[in-house]
Amino acid sequence: MGRLDWDQNAYHHRVLLRQLPSHCRRVLDVGSGAGALATKLADRADQVDAIDRSPEMINIARTSTPANVECIAADFMDYELRAEAYDAIVSLSTLHHLPLEPALRGMAAGLRPGGVLAAVGLPKIDLPRELAIEAVAAPGYRVLGMAFAAARATGRVHGFRREPSHDAMPVVLDPALTTRAVRAAATSVLPGSRVRRLTFWRYLLTWHKSA
């Protein structure tokens, strides 16, 4: 890990949190990893269910998350999700590990009417269609890396430092679907959903279930 590397998952926490109501009764975090996002969600919800198929990640999460987070070691695709149980379902860097359309159907079924689904995933690079954003992403990543490294050097801020658990997380180096393909699949399963490419090799998918 280089000195200028930074945690893109932590960087995108705020993107997901902006999509949610100020307070929720119950939230589901799909692919919760070591529990960093679930911990932030716990400030916005009465109850957070954090599910991840990695027992190692769940064991780490159980030691670091607050009391209103339940950490569940399970594969989301095999998990018996309660129908219409959640005000919000979020997912960070997980959708590209799952069969997209069945996963979205499962998440939609778990949302209460009026609930929100917000997911940040990794797209397959789509050149030349996304050439402009790719041209910004590479130098932008390095510029932010220098800024965050300088902030960390002061010792007063976290600066999106990668956590020790980062290297234990499963990684897909070549996602199967471009942002355009994700958008097409999401539209077919979740009419009214929105998918937009973000700068640093991520996309944001949002959908509000009809009330």
Q: How far is CA 188 from CA 66, 102, 191, in A?
A: 37, 11, 6
Q: What percent of the chain has pLDDT over 90?
A: 82
What pLDDT, on the 0 to 100 scale, is given for residue 155? 77
pLDDT interval class at 199 (50, 70, 90): very high
DSSP-derived 3-state class of residue 64: helix
Q: Are 28 and 86 in contact (CB under 8 A)?
A: yes
What pLDDT, on the 0 to 100 scale, is given for residue 171? 64
pTM of the prediction? 0.91
Mean pLDDT, rounded, for 71-92: 97
What pLDDT, on the 0 to 100 scale, is given for residue 126? 96
Q: Domain spans of the chain? A: 12-123+173-208
CATH architecture label of 12-123+173-208 = 3-Layer(aba) Sandwich (3.40)
Residue 87 has pLDDT above 90, yes or no: yes
Q: What's the pLDDT tens digit per position in 127-175?
A: 999 999 999 999 999 999 999 889 888 877 677 777 666 565 566 668 9
Find where tokens 């999509």 sit. Answer: 19
Q: What's the pLDDT tens digit per position in 47-76?
A: 999 999 999 999 999 999 999 999 999 999
Torsion angle of C-alpha atoms 111, 113, 41, 33, degrees rounded to 10: 10
What pLDDT, on the 0 to 100 scale, is given for residue 168? 58
What pLDDT, on the 0 to 100 scale, is given for residue 153? 86
What pLDDT, on the 0 to 100 scale, is given for residue 157? 67
Taking all residues of the chain, what is their mean pLDDT, rounded to a whole number? 93
Residue 19 has pLDDT above 90, yes or no: yes
Strands of the sheet with 202-208, listed across from one edge = 69-73, 45-52, 24-30, 86-92, 111-121, 202-208, 194-198
